[in-house]
Chains A and B, each alone.
Chain A
Amino acid sequence: MPRFILRRAYFAILTILLVSIVVYGVFSILPFDPAALTCGQKCTPTIVEANRIKLGFDKPLWDQYWLFLSGIFIGRTYGSGSAEFTCPAPSFGYSFNKNTCVTDMLKDALPITINLAIGAFVIWMIVGVGLGLIAAKFRGRYPDALSSVFVLLGTSLPTFVTGLFFLIYVTIKWKIVPLSLKGYVSIFDEPVRYFQYFILPWLTLAILFAAFYTRFTRATVLETLGEDYIRTARAKGLSEKTVLLKHTMRAALAPITTSAGLDIAGLIGGAIITESIFNLAGLGRMTLQSVYEFDLSVVVATTILAAAVVISMNLIVDIAYGYLDPRVRIK
């Protein structure tokens, strides 16, 4: 098992490295001058040149990449002489538009996105898998029919519809959840405000994913119930509850876990629409704004970060799968 993990980790790191090279490379080939984007309307060629040198855009591509990569471990210094400034490690670059190190921007945005993702994840897994299990057990009867209505609604309603619905009706019109003007607070500081801040965004995302997982769980459980080893379990005299929860779920868990891992990885890249509707200053919104503003450093950083999260999640899911399915371990 440890060998299995090491192999996977090794390849994961390799992949992240490769992705970072590709992303960096792609953004460097873009047909506009990164230095020219660093100043607003008052740009003069002199300022552009100065900025170019300051931000290191004059150096060859490989050097730029190397500075970027090493910056993650040892920080990076820009400019020279009196205008010198350092983005301490881990440095993901410098945003000229915002005049801050990207890392600081991430420090603010990341907690929001992570809380959003995890909260929604917990809700949708409990609801989705639970409902899917019930639908499978009571196949063909009322619970199953009701759950399929839920599935239909959940998968059909886009997040901007559900999100806007919640915002307009639940918050503004009916005032059930107050509008949070203060912004993000940690759960440890002000728990009530925290939940008020996140509950609607969580529900917006959760409805979509829960619907998917209800359908997915139901299908996986039904498929597993048809397997021979379930027949064997019944032949041993096990109760239906044990057959369902111990034998069936254990087998169905593997594909569900894989899917769940990848879904949450995607969310951490930023749930752009939800964040925009509820005005959450998370990673998604940050990336979107940076794209509009041509803030290259931020876009590069968030892209690579999102990719790294997905690859890492893949690794974790692979390892989890190895625990769940012993056939995968020994090859």
Chain B
Amino acid sequence: MSTPLLSVKNLQKYFPTSKNVGFRKEKLQVKAVDGISFDLMKGETLGLVGESGCGKTTAGRTILKLIEPTAGEILFEGKDITELRPGLMTPLRAQMQIIFQDPFSALNPRQTVGKIISAPFEIQKVTPEGGVKKEVAALMGRVGLNPEHYNRYPHEFSGGQRQRIGIARAIALKPKLIVADEPVSALDVSIQAQVINLIDDLQKEDGISIIFIAHDLSVVQHISDRVAVMYLGKIMEIAKTQDLFTTPHHPYTVALLSAVPQPDPRAERTRERIILTGDIPSPINPPAGCVFNTRCWKAADICRSKTPELLTVGKSSVACHFPE
């Protein structure tokens, strides 16, 4: 088997915070990412799903070293980049890019589109064949923008178009890895499909590996080769897309799939739903043992004391003491 492009081992990111207790300040940790491990092969799309507080966004940024990890390992193309100082990370960044969620705040409103998309070349001191301007125009065309709008400002574009600008910027240096952080959540439904298709096409053409972060399971299913389900900083289940959606093994995955409404009224009427009780616990004080035990209908004593490992069940990897 070839070396994975990206290998993440027991990645942790804890954010320090404090609480006032009497006259002292008690130091607490927000355990945003609490030990996740997975591999990503070249050209593969891994979907990272979960609800609020699950840590998927923090995971994405930590993998790119936009946030420094607290513990664990990140290996990019076999090289350990976990401890790499920001200065030494710079040349690697040409290989690892990000697309942000909010098309309205991800672009500098004072810069023209042309400047935004050409910034990567300037920063990495790379001059493409034919010059920067030509390359930027080509990129704009690739993402479906009119190259003649080179000198326009972000506010002159719609949300979907702005997202395309962000995508053009991300692929400018032909990266090997892109972390797409909820790239379509802020877009209208009819535009989402366009942008999803665009990302799909670009990935297939250039062989980019993508970590696709989203909370919308339908979108994730469509675009991902494999999917990892996160809850309170941990991976509950990771499997090939087809397997995860047709035979989910982790109770949380089952509940999550059960909760997603489908645009099919007859199916909706006959569906059996699992409705979870309670709210998602706080990542400052995650439950002991399996983090899902407070809402799981199968929870037993062992679930409250022992954290389950990611083990193979069927064709998937599941972290559960009583997988379905």
**What residues of chain A have their CB less than 8 Å away from a CB belonging to chain B?**
3, 6-7, 10, 331
Chain B residues positioned under 8 Å from A10 (CB to CB): 23
B310 to chain A, nearest CB (A): 36
Give Cα distance in the complex from A6 to B20, angstroms: 12
Complex contacts, A3 vs chain B, CB 8 Å: 22
B266 part of interface (Cβ distance < 8 Å): no
B27 to chain A, nearest CB (A): 14
Contacts of A6 in B (CB 8 A): 23
Q: B23 and A7: CB pair below 8 A? A: yes
Bound CA–CA A194/B20 (angstroms): 48
Question: Total interface residues on B, using CB and 8 Å?
Answer: 4
CB-CB nearest in chain B for A4: B20
- What's the A-B contact tally at a CB cutoff of 8 Å? 8
By the criterion CB–CB under 8 Å, are A331 and B19 in contact? yes
Chain B 5-24 residues near chain A, CB threshold 8 A: 19-20, 22-23
B residues contacting A by CB (< 8 A) are 19-20, 22-23
Distance between Cα atoms of A6 and B21 in the complex (Å): 12
Docked complex Cα distance between A93 and B19 (Å): 42
- A331 and B22 CA atoms in complex are apart in Å by 11
> In whole angstroms, what is the CA distance A10 to B19 when docked?
17
Alpha-carbon distance between A10 and B23 when the two chains are bound, in angstroms: 9
Q: Give the Cβ gap from A14 to chain B, nearest Cβ, in Å.
A: 11
A-chain residues with CB within 8 Å of residue B23 when the two chains form the complex: 6-7, 10
7 chain-A/chain-B pairs, Cβ below 8 angstroms: A3-B22, A6-B23, A7-B20, A7-B22, A10-B23, A331-B19, A331-B20
Contact residues in A for B22 (Cβ distance below 8 Å): 3, 7
Identity of the chain A residue whose Cβ is nearest the Cβ of B18 in the assembled complex: A331
Complex CA–CA separation, A6 to B19 (angstroms) = 16
Q: Once bound together, how far apart are the Cα atoms of A58 and B20, in whole Å?
A: 45
Q: Which residue of chain B is the closest to A331 with respect to CB atoms?
A: B20
| Across-interface contacts of B19 in A (CB, < 8 A) | 331
A7 to B23, CA, bound (A): 6
Q: What is the CB-to-nearest-CB distance from B209 to chain A, in angstroms, rounded to a whole number?
A: 41
Shortest beta-carbon distance, B235 to chain A, in Å? 32
Report Cα–Cα, A101/B22, bound state, in Å. 41
Q: How many whole Å from A62's CB to the nearest CB in chain B?
A: 27
A39 to chain B, nearest CB (A): 48
CA distance A183 to B185 in the complex (A): 72
The complex places the Cα of A243 from the Cα of B39 at a distance, in Å, of 56
Cα of A10 to Cα of B22 in the assembled complex, Å: 11
> What separation, in Å, do the CA atoms of A7 and B22 have in the docked complex?
7
In the assembled complex, the Cα of A3 lies from the Cα of B22 at a distance in Å of 6
Give, as a whole number of angstroms, the nearest-CB distance from A1 to chain B: 13
Given contact pairs A7-B23, A10-B23, a sample of 6 additional A-B residue pairs in the complex whose CB atoms are under 8 Å apart: A3-B22, A6-B23, A7-B20, A7-B22, A331-B19, A331-B20
Find chain A residues with CB under 8 A from B20 CB. Answer: 7, 331
